[in-house]
Amino acid sequence: MKPVIISGGPGAGKTSLIRALGARGIATFEEASRRLIEQQSRLPDGILPWDDLPGFARLCFDVIEVPFASLALRARFVIDVLGLEQAQASGN
């Protein structure tokens, strides 16, 4: 099966779709930013995108693990960070 990139704004259902595909036996990879938000939310001084977007973006790039060398996956991550920044700027 060819790799597929799932993209969409916050709350669009990306995670639900990824989980449903995984439940059907399709290999999936968790979104790195979601995992980091969950981890950072548990820390008293955690870095979160709605409080420190540049810091969160740096943290993501520091810890992201890509299972195979793919510019498409790296580009997808950049789109997510830009989407969060745009949503924050518009008050959503």
Instruction: Let me know if residue 15 belongs to a domain.
Output: no
pTM here is: 0.51
Tell me which residue range forms the domain holding 67.
30-89
CA dist list (Å): 59 to 35, 54, 73:
12, 9, 17
Check residues 21 and 89 and name the one with the higher pLDDT.
21
Asked if the model's pLDDT at residue 78 lies above 80, the reply is no
Instruction: Let me know if residue 5 belongs to a domain.
Output: no
Instruction: Let me know if residue 34 belongs to a domain.
Output: yes
How many domains, in total, are found in the chain?
A: 1
Check residues 72 and 28 and name the one with the higher pLDDT.
28
Q: pLDDT tens, 24-39?
A: 988 887 777 888 899 9
Asked if the model's pLDDT at residue 45 lies above 90, the reply is yes
Instruction: Let me know if residue 20 belongs to a domain.
Output: no
Confidence of residue 15 (pLDDT cuts 50, 70, 90): confident
